[in-house]
Structure 1
Amino acid sequence: MGAEIWSSDDGFAVHETSDDGFTGAFVAGTAAAAAAAAGDLLCLKAAGSNNLSAMPDIAQIFDLLQIYSPWIYFHPDEPYLPSSVSWFFDNGALLYSKENPNSPIGIDSAGAALPQGGTNDGAYWLDLPADNTAKQRVKSGNLSAAESYIHVKPVLGGSATDIVFWIFYPFNGPARAKVFISISLGKIGEHVGDWEHVTLRISNFDGKLQRMYFSQHSSGKWVEVADLEFADGGRRPTAYSTLHGHAFYPKAGLVLQGEVEPGIGVRDDTAAGGQRMDAAARAVVAAAEYLGVREPAWLQYMREWGPKVSYDVEKEIGKVEKILPRKMKSGLRRLVSRLPPEMLGEEGPTGPKAKANWNGDEVS
């Protein structure tokens, strides 16, 4: 029997105990009874990290998609909509290499010619078409061609299923700030190849939706079922995509990221009234390791989906400052000093399989 955790004057005591394969347990009772019980205490232990017997098969996955897939709402002013990966490739996306940076090559619909596996070593990256007309068209995306790429995985020891909906946007627009008034931050925040996601957590005991995760830039938020909004009075939750940046929120409205003081922050604007996407209509089960689902070739591309971006922050902020009074200028400077690195210049974003949450839990 291990150390005493707590005891009372009448002889009742709680002692810690442990076995060779468990993280810890405790036994409570009178001091004498606790001592006797601790020696023969039996602990239940999971046979493995995940029990997959309760996980949904492929037919059940599609049933769940029809019941719970979210409706994704885009801001009425959103110019940068999602597309399918194949549409992006077919409309002129290019693969660049560090070895031959001036000789990009086209990409087939399936991405079969993309480098497969490995790690993000900076040797390859994707970019928009070289032709300016084609570039502008691809930046806008194509909602009618957009697909949701589904990753199904066991969680909580196999007692629940996470269904992850990955959405691809060819382009992420510039950031917008609120410094008492709304202002554009120039090119800051722009990048090629934006991957965003939401996750449904479903109980394997009763098949009911438990909670939903909304990715928001480099992290996100879990929201309980009672706090979700449901589309058209049904069982399918809503997800609102922010203007330009495509972070997801459970309800429409304005959220200020990185507030340096009340009323000064980066705007995350969502609103109803724009276009919407049925995440079930063009759902592709891209990965479910426990079922051995054949994964698309592009999913094995572990490098960057856009080129390295870097901005002359002083130049971009200088343009904005010209229209601001002195008090607002100081607020803008404080805000920019706290912007995350990904907004000021970074390597291009990686694809879903290179994200930390692919094999782990969501980042909150």
Structure 2
Amino acid sequence: MDGTLASDGGFAKGVIDLGGLEVRQVTTFAKVWSTGRDGAGAAFFRPSPVPVGFSALGHYAQRDGRPPSGHVLVARDTTAPDAAEPILATPRDYALVWSSPDGAGCFWLPTAPGGYRPVGVVVTATPEKPPLDEVRCVRADFTEACEAEAPPVWSWSGDRGGGFVSVAALRPAVRRVDARGVHAGTFLARSSAAPVEASALACLRNNGPSHTSAMPDLAQVHAVLAAYAPLVYLHPGETYMPSSVAWFFENGALLHQRQQQQKGSQQAPTPVAADGSNLPQGGDNDGSYWLDLPVGRDQRERVKKGDLASAKAYMQVKPMLGGTATDLAMWFFYPINGPARARVLGALTIPLGGIGSHVGDWEHLTLRVSNFSGELLRVYFSQHSAGTWVDASQLEYAAAGGRPVAYASLHGHAFYPRAGLELQGSAVAGIRNDSARGSVLDTGGRGRCEVVSAEYLGVAEPAWLGFMRPWGPTEVYDVGRVINRVARFLPRAIRERLERLVNKVFVGDGATGPKKHGSWINDEKDPN
């Protein structure tokens, strides 16, 4: 891929300048210690080799039982060598955070000099402190607040001494398109003996003139897509296919407006222009405008089914993690989200009538790409109100072309990394999300992906992207009545539990477009 990414910019050059602090991404490691729990524990590594002139900032942790698949950053101070306050400094000491009962694994927190912050924990396989030059601390003005990722990499409560310990990857506490915090790949260790908080450590900060200097240009974006554009599999029983936005508009989508002078009255709906140019721009979801399907029954039913032939991914390209990563958020439109089904008592499936069905369904996948190498780091699978990140090493890939695979669930269109059944709720009362290989939408195919937003590149956004009102009317469900009708044979306690779940999952305002989602300017939402 290297040849296809060549340009005069800073993308995929291996080094990113944070304003006097150069950082490199290291993906090769030497194992220090593992918990030895047959894949259920964790393994700990130090970056090796560290490039000449660079220094490690901390060690790396991941689940045990597979080769190391992550990265850590190493750093080099490029300011004057005789500066009174260099950006990097050697720790003054180390504080023991936790030691395994047999002393074979120890976690150490660097003690930073005044005005400096530690960025990662150090691991040893003996009770002796690490050498002072094992890592460097970073001057405070080149750091940002960090937090522990959830779930933790590993946690353990010893029954033979050693106390409780928890290990979690670190990430910047503020993660927005304009934020400067940089993910260093290091981790935090907490224990009952030394309850270290995330505030004891820091992430790096990009102090460069622009945090977008290492972002890809448009040609490089398309080169990344050629390598990693996902194949999206729809369920073989799917009735409600995706379509392009233009197809939805051209086939009778209507803009509704409520007259404010006479509360509750409406103007006649207006056909939406093919490019969305007559849609109101901006505003809040105040009930003044919304989209809906055509009025005629036959046309309405036809539009509900979507049009896979026209469907595409609408992509936002945005800087993340202080401009050291690029997020390619790929948005998919469905004219309608289909009705839901419940699974109760571990085996029984119950259709929920029209509950869950709504007009204008937007779902998305996000590819996170390293700006150091241009390689795929992980993929986010949106799943209703939240979702999950999956590391590149744990994705399913197509046999032909080696591109990642995603599965859209039946009717609900949530994305999953593997085919099968996922439940919202529990086995006692859950909402079904079934996925399997049926029709495929190849986002790498010609015309199947359109860049609609890349602010740092000045990409002109289509008019429909500025429509901030609902893409469908608000659906009102009589949840209790439906549950009592379709599940009247169930014990009352189960029906009440199912009713609470349905109200939590499905009751709310109509679906809104991509720009109204928090992930448009922020990082993706963690799982519930």
Same fold, TM-score > 0.5, yes or no: yes
Distance 2:296 2:404 in 1: 39
For 1:42-53, list aligned pairs within 5 A: 44=142, 46-47=206-207, 51-53=211-213
Question: Structure 1 residue aligned with 2:349, among 139, 159, 182?
Answer: 182
**C-alpha RMSD of the superposition:** 2.4
| Counterpart mapping for 1:1-364 below 5 A | 14=111, 17-18=114-115, 25=117, 44=142, 46-47=206-207, 51-99=211-259, 101-179=266-344, 180-259=347-426, 262-272=427-437, 274-281=438-445, 282-322=448-488, 324=489, 326-327=490-491, 330-341=493-504, 343-344=506-507, 346-364=508-526
Give, in whole Å, the separation in 1 of the partners of 2:209 and 2:513: 26
8 Å contact from structure 2 (residues 291, 471) kept in 1: yes
Q: TM-score, normalised to structure 1's length?
A: 0.86
Structure 2: gaps spanning 5 or more residues: 1-91, 97-109, 120-131, 133-138, 143-204, 260-264
Cα-to-partner distance string for 1:14-72 (whole Å, 9 max, x where unaligned) = 35634xxxxx6159xxxxxx9xxxxxx68645325962121111111111111101100
Deviations 1:138-188 (A, max 9, x none): 111000011110000011111110001000000001111111311101111
Alpha-carbon contact 1:116-1:301 (below 8 Å) kept:
yes
Alpha-carbon distance between aligned partners in 1 of 2:209 and 2:348, rounded to the nearest angstrom = 51
The alignment's TM-score, normalised by the length of structure 2, stands at 0.60
| Secondary structure of the corresponding residue to residue 338 of structure 1 | helix
Structure 1 residue 319 displacement after superposition: 2.4
Q: 1 CA distance for matches of 2:402 and 2:209?
A: 31
Query: In 1, distance between residues paired with 2:313 and 2:414?
Result: 15
Q: Partner amino acid for 1:71? A: L
CA contact 2:339–2:355 (8 Å) conserved in 1: yes
**Cα 1:127–1:7 shift into 2, 3 Å:** closer
Q: Specify the code of the residue in structure 2 equivalent to 1:363.
A: K
The answer on whether the counterparts of 1:254 and 1:270 sit within 8 Å (CA) in structure 2 is yes
Q: Which amino acid aligns with 2:368?
A: R
Deviations 1:81-130, CA, capped at 9 Å, x for gaps:
10000100110110001116241000011000000123323210001111
3-state secondary structure, aligned to 2:322: helix
In 1, Cα distance between equivalents of 2:433 and 2:394: 19
Q: 1:135 to 1:225 in 2, by over 3 A?
A: same
SS at match of 1:285: strand
- How much has 1:321 moved relative to structure 2? 2.2
Structure that is richer in helix per residue:
1
For each residue in 1:310-331, what CA deviation from the matched residue of structure 2 results, as whole angstroms up to 9, or x when unmatched?
A: 1111331232124x3x44x542
For structure 1, the residue ranges without an aligned partner over 5 or more in a row are 19-23, 28-33, 35-40
The alpha-carbon distance between structure 1 residues 56 and 14, as it changes in their structure 2 partners (threshold 3 A), is closer
Runs of 4+ in 1 over 6 A off after TM superposition: 4-8
Q: Could you tell which deviates more after superposition, 115-124 or 203-212?
A: 115-124
* Contact 1:82 1:168 (C-alpha < 8 Å) held by counterparts: yes
Q: Secondary structure at the match of 1:144?
A: coil
- The verdict on how the C-alpha distance between 1:62 and 1:318 changes in structure 2, with shifts beyond 3 A counting, is same
Residues 185-228 of structure 1, C-alpha deviations (whole Å, 9 max, x = no match): 11111110000000000011111100000000000000011110
Further displaced range: 161-170 or 177-186: 177-186
| Alpha-carbon contact 1:17-1:26 (below 8 Å) kept | no
Does the CA contact (< 8 Å) of 1:264 and 1:331 recur in 2?
yes
The alignment of Structure 1 onto Structure 2 pairs a total of residues equal to 334
